[in-house]
Structure 1
Amino acid sequence: MKKLLIIKTGGSFEEFTREHDDFEHWTANGMGLSFEDCLCVDVRTGSSLPDPADIAGCVITGSHDMVTDDLPWIHTTARWLREALHADLPLLGICFGHQLMAHALGGKAGYHPDGLEIGTVDITLTEDGMADPLMGSLPSFFKAHVTHSQTALELPPNTTLLAASDHDPHQSFRIGLHAWGVQFHPEFDTSAIHFYVQQLQEKITDQGGDVANIRETVVETPESTSLLKRFAAYCLNS
């Protein structure tokens, strides 16, 4: 059986990962798979990505780097994503991965004009989202964890907008049959988002945010988290 690929584009804070593993492990766990049953490639090291024909699907993780950073691995990964889309490979980009997909496929990523979005937020599906083969399994209104300064400022041509939040109108999109981007983090649990709020509290305050209120409104996000298992099932059972 073909494996699911996890493209590691970054890692969480070392202080947190020492006890809680890292993005790629959270993603595998969220998909209901053991890490050993997935293929993980850390593109920051220059490791080669596989032929899209040799894998069942691909998740692109988040990162503390920015899509607008002029890093060789970002350009290389963007080229691979274009090849994967052309090969009709199911894709799921998370946060940085979502922005990288938008950038690679003809849109534009950059800093959100209203600054940082962080905490547990309300996501609303569009009509197209409610009919989508992946997102349509969710309630029309659900909660998700977010932490991002950049966003998909412009979506690629022929993109279907699937979901939005009050802060970000591009919380999810689909290109073609099954290439999805989600700005939110289905792989995060409450301990992860609380840690990010702690680490970024000075930035939150500087941008006029209420750290105490953000902490108080953090809740579990089972609907958002369920996307990972649904994506894995979609790839492995197609």
Structure 2
Amino acid sequence: MRLAILITNTDHSDFAGARPDDAVKFSRFVALARPDWSCTSFDLPRGDALPKLEDFDGFIIGGSPAFLSDDRPWIAPLLEFIRAAHADRVPLLGTCFGHQAIAAALGGRVGRNGEGWGHGLLELQMFQVPPWMKGAPKVRRLYGSHAEQVLDLPDNATVWCASEGCPIAGFFVENSIFTTQHHPEISADFMADLVDHLADYMGAEVTEKARASLIDEADNAAFAEAAAQFFEQAIRA
């Protein structure tokens, strides 16, 4: 399987530079379930052109501290790319910003989380399980850090999970779109470092709640298996 990772991360700080970048994080995430698959990354904020749809079997759109409402030159072309991929039924996996971008591109609505930040290890309530996840381990917890989220679904979308303060924490559209508001590519060490790094910005209440949540670990491997099964069934269809 040939996957393209569309990097949207605009954090080029010293904190980010001292840790694995999103190309490495998502390649490791894919390898949790399918170590023989190839991953090629395209860093959109740094000026990489979007790949051709026909050159890859599927696409992963990652997270970012950017907002969809930001005036950034790469966002509008990304939304057009999503619409073209959806029209051709090319499989898209969206995480965090990618989840929001897919929703917005297809007619959904994105806005601020009315209950404030979702930050730390977040518990998932699963609703309608996508067909390809029935043979995968259950995904009960994922790391997250977000102030915006999907408020209204695009047409034909189905919610598969919710988390505290986030009723649409993941959705799917038929067999070719699969999303999560959260970060299955983030490791336990990275999340702990991020909570410490953002402590002053987040404030004591949000930070202490996030730290307390980290007693457990995320179900990244389970989500990686679900994502792999998603791409496999989309290609077979």
CA distance in 2, matches of 1:6, 1:36: 12
Per the alignment, do residues 47 and 35 of structure 1 end up closer, same or farther by CA in structure 2, a change over 3 Å counting?
Answer: farther
Counterpart mapping for 1:52-201 below 5 A: 52-126=53-127, 128-129=128-129, 131-134=130-133, 137-139=136-138, 142-201=140-199
Decide whether the 8 Å contact of 1:12 with 1:22 is kept in 2. Answer: no
Q: Which amino acid aligns with 2:217?
A: E
Q: 1:158 to 1:234 in 2, by over 3 A?
A: closer
Deviation at residue 12 of structure 1 after TM alignment: 4.7
Moved more, 188-197 or 156-165: 188-197
What is the deviation of 1:81? 0.5
Q: Distance in 1 between matches of 2:87 and 2:25?
A: 28
Residue 215 of structure 1 is aligned with which of 201, 211, 214?
211
- 2:228 corresponds in structure 1 to 232
Distance 1:84 1:203, change over 3 A: same
C-alpha separation between the residues in 2 aligned to 1:170 and 1:211? 23
- The CA distance in 2 between the partners of 1:13 and 1:45, in whole Å, is 10
Give a deviation string over 1:111-144, Cα, whole Å, max 9, x none: 2122211011110110x22x431477242x6111
In structure 2, relative to structure 1, the CA distance for the partners of 1:173 and 1:234 (3 Å cut) is: closer
CA distance in 2 between counterparts of 1:19 and 1:35 reads 27
| CA distance in structure 2 between the partners assigned to 1:57 and 1:229 by the alignment | 15
State TM-score, norm by structure 2. 0.87
Say which SS state the counterpart of residue 173 (structure 1) adopts.
strand
Deviation of 1:166 after TM superposition, in Å, equals: 2.0
Q: Which runs of 5+ in 1 are unaligned?
A: none
Q: What residue is the counterpart of 2:44 in the other structure? A: 43
Unaligned runs of 5+ in 2: none
Contact 2:119 2:206 in 1 (8 A): no
Which amino acid in the other structure matches residue 151 of structure 2?
A: L
CA distance in 1, matches of 2:229, 2:38: 14
Cα distance per residue 1:7-26 (max 9 Å; x no partner): 00015564344443112211
SS at match of 1:197: helix
Aligned-CA RMSD value: 2.4
How far, CA to CA, are the matches of 2:80 and 2:102 in structure 1? 10
Task: Work out the percentage of aligned pairs sharing the same amino acid.
Answer: 26
**Letter in structure 1 aligned against 2:47:** G
- Quick one: structure 1 residues 137 and 233, their matched pair in 2 at CA, closer, same or farther if it must change by over 3 Å? closer
Compared with structure 1, are the counterparts of its residues 107 and 217 closer, same or farther at alpha carbon in structure 2 (3 Å cutoff)? Answer: same
Q: Cα–Cα, structure 1 residues 60 and 158, in superposed 2: closer, same or farther, change >3 Å?
A: same
Structure 2 CA distance for partners of 1:20 and 1:216, relative to 1, 3 Å: same
Cα distance change of structure 1 residues 110 and 35 upon mapping to structure 2, 3 Å threshold: farther
How far residue 3 of structure 1 moved from its aligned partner, in angstroms, is: 1.7
- The structure 1 segments of at least 4 consecutive aligned residues displaced by more than 4 Å after TM superposition are 33-36
TM-score with structure 1 length normalisation? 0.87
